[in-house]
A = this chain, B = another copy of it.
């Protein structure tokens, strides 16, 4: 049997204490479209996405990340991962088709940091309502239909108070993620690593947050825009809706991401709006190491300049719970 494989980041499921405000932010301002609503839960996706949702908003008493959902490559890979994870001592929970709207059978489990992951293969691909459907066959909703209008989900960035190097090793060994770039501090520890199963520089990053209250923190989910200029337009739109970007615009050295961060005012969950970057097609890619000396360049090719290697003073330290 082939080893099971992850195909792509599927979705992020966010719990918010203010569903109405979070929905206003993700639907009106960010411009994600709604595919389904049920039981205090709303399912959304970006205009270039075909699958049922890339974001789930659930009403709850506090803000936390319910889970990060990964779509696997083959129908059997859900069970394949369940088998392998169980064998290696990870507790795996099975969820029947429809437990999450639009999805088939799924499993859930925690990585050692405590972050909850979901895996599934089957997913509905609903068409857009005709009045907002793109004239293009390869795009779901018409271009620029609403708010910032990103094309698709891109990656998640997790923070942990544990050693992130251990998390990278676990993600590599059990889920097949390849390390693409990482930062090594002078003390030998890895401060952060960017990993992917796709040619994207990262589908997932895990970063050190030594002073975080728990080992499972969530830094951001990223949505992709086609042009750097579209990120600048996003800043205009945010400000006109009374929302100040959290950081940016700027360009990271790592991944060459052109970024702006912003927090959902309903939950505090952070979103990265990003463009540019680069793709990795080389089959023999060697992970790129950035040293502590290169920390500033790694995080800031240009833009906001107040990054510091000691993360307790980091302006982006306010993460939400994962």
Contacts and interface: CB of A to CB of B under 8 A. Distances in A.
Interface of A: 7-8, 48, 50-51, 71-74, 121, 134-139, 142-145, 151-152, 181, 198-199, 201, 226-230, 232-233, 235-240, 242, 244-245, 249-251, 253-256, 258, 260, 275-276, 278-279, 281-283, 288-290, 294, 297, 301-306
Q: Considering residues A137, A235, A302, A305, which has the most beta carbons from chain B within 10 angstroms of its beta carbon? A: A302
Given A50-B282, A143-B236, A254 B305 contact: no
Contacts of A137: 181, 253, 288-290, 294
Contacts of A181: 137-138
Given A240-B144, A254-B138, A235 B302 contact: yes
A303 B249 contact: yes
A113 B121 CA distance: 37
A302 to B, nearest CB: 4
How many copies of the shown chain assemble into the complex? 4
Nearest to A276: B226
Contacts of A227: 227-229, 275-276
Given A51-B282, A71-B283, A251-B235, A135 B240 contact: yes
Given A7-B283, A282-B8, A236 B199 contact: no
A103 to B, nearest CB: 14
B7 A282 contact: yes
Nearest to A277: B226
A216 B145 CA distance: 38
Contacts of A256: 136, 138-139
Contacts of A275: 226-227
Contacts of A136: 253, 256, 297, 301
A297 B121 CA distance: 32
